[in-house]
Amino acid sequence: MSELSGQIREAVRKLLRQKEVDLVIGFEAGTLPLHSTPCFIREQQEAERLIWNSFCDNNLAKYLGKRQEKIAIIAKSCDARAIVELIKEKQISREQVVIVGVPCHGMIDRRRAEAELEGKEILEAEENDGELTLKGNGFTKVLKRSDYLCYGCEVCFHRNPVIYDILIGDGVAEKATDQYSDIAEFEAKSTEERWRYISDQVSKCIRCYACRNACPLCYCRECFVDNTHPQWTGKTTDISDTMIFHLMRAFHLAGRCVGCGACERACPMKVDIRKLNRKLVSDVKVLFDYEAGISLDRTAPLATFKPDDPEGFMLNP
């Protein structure tokens, strides 16, 4: 991992030296164990701050919109998929961004690692050779890294960036095609069970909007929940209001969600937000044979119209 950090710094220094970009968005060490944190670099000498490890879990594509400068972005595969969508949706031009792609082994879900320690506090975390070593007062625990990945990373079938200008390190082996077995399991439940599950999850929501604000594809200048004139949705934490927010958001992301899981990781209340989003990702795949973030050329299914669309779901509901 430190080798990758070195290569990233090298590439970034060159980009800044040759004035190919004005700004670099990457990760630096966080203030807490198991955390890296987004950083913004404009000077060559600051490149030393950049790091790469299994804690770089934010989707940095979030920071690309509404900027004028030429930007280099350190992009793992899901960041790259989000960039593809942002380019297609004209939020940024391909020319404005230099994509420094990093093949990804998956990011660590710190809550999963913490759960292993039954309340003991992690004060230090190190990773090497597929192992994660956690240290605290009076304990050292070694975990197998691959057992503690974020859920989004566990079901990720595109670990190599689909788009890049510079590639850091070697490619990583891809898993077989996604069968959406987790979604099939959910679909097999009765309507009541599914409703109960989603209701239980959504009832935890405190409407902090961290899911929306961490999502690289939630970039509406005015989100429907923030609109006050007219006010489309209730503002309380009553389940009827929070449910509308989560359902509408999920539908708004249909065919656009790249499955990075940034929403779920940002949620302080551990709401299983991805269940809805991933169900729609799966539907879009099954119905339209389309995956968001994979190709710059294919138009998103909900951004197109064909006069000969059979619209079977309307005629035979």
Partner 1 sequence: MKTKIIRKQDMTGLLNNLIQEYEVFAPVKRDDLVIFDRIGSDKDVSLEYTNSIKPPKEILFPQSETLFTCGSIGDAASIEVPVSEERPRLLFGIRPCDARSFLLLDKVFNEENHRDVYYLSRRNDMMVIAIGCIKPRATCFCTSVGGGPFSSQGSDLLLVDIGDDYIIQVITDKGSRLVEKVGVADAGENKLALMKMVIQEAELSMSPQIKTDGLKEKLDSAFDDPIWGSLTEKCLSCGICTYLCPSCYCFDIIDEVTDSKGERIRIWDSCQFPLFTLQASGSNPRPTNKERHRQRVMHKFSYCVDNYGQVSCVGCGRCVIECPVNLDIRQVLTTISNR
100 phi/psi in degrees, rounded to 5? -95, 95
Q: Which residues between 176 and 215 bind partner 1 (CB under 8 A)?
A: 204, 206-210, 212-214
Residue 44 in contact with partner 1, rule: CB under 8 A: no
> What binding mask, one character per residue, do residues 243-262 give for partner 1 by CB under 8 A, x or -?
--------------------
* Residue 226 beta carbon to partner 1: minimum distance, rounded to whole angstroms: 5
| C-alpha span between 33 and 66 (Å, rounded) | 32
Burial 227-261 (b: 16+ CB within 10 A, else e): eeeeeebeeeeeeebbbbbbeebbebbbbbbbbbb
| Residue among 128, 171, 235, 287 that touches partner 1 (CB under 8 A) | 235
Residue 4 in contact with partner 1, rule: CB under 8 A: no
| Residue among 2, 179, 237, 299 that touches partner 1 (CB under 8 A) | 237
Q: Which residue's CB is nearer to partner 1, number 130 or number 268? A: 268
Name beta bridge partners: 149.
Answer: 108
Q: Which residue's CB is nearer to partner 1, number 220 or number 303? A: 220
| Residue among 6, 38, 169, 301 that touches partner 1 (CB under 8 A) | 38
| C-alpha span between 305 and 308 (Å, rounded) | 9
Residue 135 in contact with partner 1, rule: CB under 8 A: no
Residue 274 in contact with partner 1, rule: CB under 8 A: no
- Report the candidate in 204, 34, 29 with the shortest Cα–Cα distance to residue 117: 34
Q: Which residue's CB is nearer to partner 1, number 57 or number 178? A: 57
Q: Which residue's CB is nearer to partner 1, number 70 or number 204? A: 204
Q: Residue 58 gets which letter from DSSP?
A: S
Q: What is the 3-state secondary structure (H, E, C) of 240-280?
A: HHHHHHHHHHHHHCCCCCCCCCHHHHHCCCCCCCHHHHHHH
| C-alpha span between 57 and 53 (Å, rounded) | 9
SS3 category, 214: helix
Binding interface with partner 1 (CB under 8 A): 30-32, 35-40, 58, 62-63, 115, 119, 121, 123, 204, 206-210, 212-214, 226, 228, 231, 234-238, 265-266, 268-270
